[in-house]
Amino acid sequence: MRFRESVNIKSPKRHKLNVMENKKELRNWLDAFGLDHPLVIAGPCSAETEAQVLKIAHQLKDTDATVLRAGIWKPRTRPGNFEGVGALGLKWLQKAKEETGMLTTTEVANANHVDLALEADIDILWIGARTTVSPFIVQEIAEALKGTDKTVLIKNPVNPDLALWLGAVERFYTQDIKNLGVIHRGFSTYEKTRYRNNPEWQIAIDLQNKFPDLPLILDPSHIAGRRDIIHDLCQTGLDLNYDGIMVETHYDPDNAWSDAAQQITPATLVQMMKDLKIRKEEGTEVEYNNKLNTLRTKIDVIDHQLIESLGKRMKISDGIGELKAENNVSILQTKRWNEILGKMILEGEQNNLSEEFILRVFKAVHQESINHQKKVARS
């Protein structure tokens, strides 16, 4: 109380998330490319040498890639890994742009990086996943960019938090940076999954539903962590109407100085672009099929989550089975089962699901749990 009296603190105006709703201007930068396919940003994880940057740029020059990416300042999870060549690499990107006409992009992680990137006339700046988590740094970068017409692409934060991701976008928007986009690069998990970063498609779908004008770009490389699933991830992204992809590309992926396992060659990228089903919205039938396909992909995403959740539930059941076996307790406990059912019927109602449906689903789930526990008890 005393604090409030002695210091005249005005509570800041609450910034509504809808500050960017219905803002077609957000995609002006993308529309200006006039592409008849999704935007492709390609290039190495890290700029390694001038020759490497130039060689990759020339290999990408006559492909679908419009923008050359290369990390110059590399935020590494643990020290001791290659942390980027630093400002020196900006010159290599400039040279690549002069020689190939490709636009350039790199990651900036503080105001000093912004100044240097602006001086070097880098076209697009991206904010890395480890930066998006920090409102102070995002604010500092956004302020350093005020008054410029740079395009800024904001990667999702490492943790699955849509509000934090949107908060970062808003910080740029409120500094008058209107050429914006987001990059979906997946989210960290403690448990090992088949991905380096779990896609959690639902978060990007929610973002897309809320802000359909905000360009959404997929980074399959950092989601996958391995090159064999890059194609499938890109197809899912395209089926979900993403506006573009950012793919790490190197002429010698295995010997890349960072993220070797996930990079593909420019030739593989060209082949992938040929193989991907890219849907153009033309004609009523095509439009119908496109919409149907998008909705089906959304269902696939949710079905996948259902299976994962059921798998996790059964693992916990196994644990309960072991505990019961050790303590000589019977597997079926009717009271607990009735409690679960009652709760689920109520929750079902709130989600527009009939009692009959909930009963059928949960009886099946319960039966599977009992089977699991029996197996554990026998082993």
Contacts with Mn ion by CB under 5 A lie at 45, 259
Q: For ligand PEP, which residue of 30, 42, 45, 216 counts as binding (CB under 6 A)?
A: 45
Distance in angstroms (rounded) separating the CA atoms of residues 204 and 300: 14
Q: Indicate which of Mn ion, ligand PEP, none lies near residue 128 (CB less than 5 to 8 Å, by partner kind).
A: ligand PEP
Check binding of 71 to ligand PEP (CB under 6 A): yes
Q: Helix (H, G, I), strand (E, B), or coil: what is residue 334?
A: helix
Under rule CB under 6 A, how many of the chain's residues touch ligand PEP?
A: 8
Q: For ligand PEP, which residue of 97, 113, 150, 185 counts as binding (CB under 6 A)?
A: 185
Q: For ligand PEP, which residue of 27, 113, 155, 250 counts as binding (CB under 6 A)?
A: 155
Q: Measuring CA to CA, which residue among 118, 115, 158, 103 is closest to residue 134?
A: 158
- Contact map string, positions 231 to 270, toward ligand PEP, x by CB under 6 A: ----------------------------------------
Q: Helix (H, G, I), strand (E, B), or coil: what is residue 363?
A: helix
Distance in angstroms (rounded) separating the CA atoms of residues 90 and 103: 13
Whichever of 122 and 246 has its CB closer to Mn ion, that residue is 246
Distance in angstroms (rounded) separating the CA atoms of residues 197 and 202: 14
Q: How far is the CB of 183 from ligand PEP (least distance, A)?
A: 7
Kind of pairing, strands 103-107 and 216-218? unpaired
Cβ neighbors of 164 (< 8 A, separation 6 or more) are 132, 133, 135, 157
Query: Angle CA(40)–CA(43)–CA(47) in degrees, nearest 5?
Result: 150
Check binding of 199 to ligand PEP (CB under 6 A): no
Q: For ligand PEP, which residue of 65, 129, 141, 230 counts as binding (CB under 6 A)?
A: 129
Whichever of 221 and 297 has its CB closer to Mn ion, that residue is 221
The phi, psi pair for 123, rounded to 5°, reads -75, -45
User: Taking CB positions, which residue lies at the least distance from ligand PEP?
Assistant: 128
CB 91 within 8 A of CB 104: no
CA atoms within 13 A on the CB side of 305: 11
Distance in angstroms (rounded) separating the CA atoms of residues 207 and 195: 21
Span from 33-41, 124-132, 287-295, 348-356 in contact with ligand PEP (CB under 6 A): 124-132
- The amino acid at residue 274 is K
Check binding of 196 to ligand PEP (CB under 6 A): no
Q: How far is the CB of 304 from ligand PEP (least distance, A)?
A: 22
Footprint on this chain of ligand PEP (rule: CB under 6 A)? 45, 71, 128-130, 155, 185, 222
